[in-house]
Amino acid sequence: MTLPTGPPLALLHERVNTWFLETGRDLPWRRPDCSPWGVFLSEVMSQQTPLARVEPVWHEWMERWPTPADLAADAPGEAVRRWKRLGYPRRALRLHEAATVMVQWHDGRVPSTHAELLALPGVGAYTAAAVACFAFGVPEVVVDTNVRRVIARTVTGLALPAPTLTRAESQLAHDVQPTERDAANLWNVAVMELGALVCVARGPRCGECPVADLCAWNRAGRPAHDGPPRRGQAWHGTDRQVRGEVLRRLRAEDHPLPLAALADSGPDAAQVMRCLDSLVADGLLEPIDGDRYRLPA
């Protein structure tokens, strides 16, 4: 199949897959001996989080909770404590909930089908597809930000994809994926790696790209993005920063902390109280007698 503005797909697949086999990172969850649980953890942990921060936490979780049953048997607060600096700590609670469901409904194992994975707490379409593919070899179409960017450039000639995934993009990703099972599974991880290391959003390294001569965007002279500007997320002074500081202080202690020990977690007392209330509402904190707070038991 040859798409209207893109390269011959067979050549694109061969180049990208060969490049990955020669240069792909040796990550522990990519190794053949990694359990489906290890793959599941890696996919949840790496959402919007650099892999350099994920790997040490992943190793710690796998050592402490090598199976879903091990995590489900521990307190959810321990999952939050050992989430450390990965950000979006509700993911830790969702992992604990997912592990509990695996024990209750799947004999303590990670389910292997896309539908069963999608039914787990906190699991969306991307995570379900990625775990089915990378843990069980089911060639689901795996589409993350990196994949979207590579396909946008190589096939459609756009500098960047749309701000959010569209139905047309999903269909294009399906059409671009190899039809043969093993090639499709390899393509899923290879094209993701290409987007993470070479075809990056800013300053793409086209000189290192195995398909630079095939890329529709590169061949067109790398036209600038003509869509809405991409804005980075603010951090300093936000509720996210204050919530993170509250959790950091609680993670550092093995006992509840009084409100007085948390009141200066942000510059504004009203903001701190708002953040405490939101953490309680999210299940990340528990208020107890004496104006004290603890991680969920």
| Residue given tokens 């700590």 in the structure block | 89
Q: What's the pLDDT at 69?
A: 98
* pTM exceeding 0.85: yes
Q: How far apart are the first and last CA of the chain?
A: 55
Please state at what angle helix 51-64 crosses helix 36-45, rounded to 10 degrees: 140
CB neighbours of 148 closer than 8 A, spacing ≥ 6?
161, 165, 169, 173, 195
Confidence band, pLDDT 50/70/90 cuts, at residue 293: very high
CA distance 127 to 150: 19
CA distance 287 to 256: 9
Based on the residue annotation, tell me whether 245 is a catalytic residue of this protein: no
CATH architecture classification, 26-136 = Orthogonal Bundle (1.10)
Indicate the average pLDDT of the chain. Answer: 93
Separation of CA 182 from chain center: 23
The token pair that represents 272 in the structure block: 């701190």
As annotated, the residues of the chain forming the CATH 1.10.10.10 domain(s) are 239-294
As annotated, the residues of the chain forming the CATH 1.10.340.30 domain(s) are 26-136
Please answer whether residues 259 and 279 qualify as being in contact, where contact means their C-beta atoms are separated by less than 8 angstroms.
Answer: no
* Least reliable range by pLDDT among 52-66, 163-177, 206-220, 231-245: 231-245
Enter the CATH code of domain 239-294.
1.10.10.10
Annotated catalytic residue within 43, 97, 169, 193: 43
Helix/strand/coil percent split, the chain, to 5: 55, 5, 40
- pLDDT of 4 strictly over 90: no
CA distance 48 to 178: 27
Reported as a single tens digit per residue, the pLDDT across 35-86 is 999 999 999 999 989 899 999 999 999 999 999 999 999 999 999 999 998 9
Give strand ranges (E) for 62-105. none
- The H-or-E segment that residue 3 falls in is none
CA distance 133 to 34: 14
Q: What's the pLDDT at 231?
A: 63
CA distance 204 to 149: 11
Q: Residue 168: how many CB atoms within 10 A of its CB?
A: 10
As annotated, the residues of the chain forming the CATH 1.10.1670.10 domain(s) are 9-13+17-23+141-219
Enter the CATH code of domain 9-13+17-23+141-219.
1.10.1670.10
> Within 13 A of 23's CA, how many CA atoms are on the CB side?
16
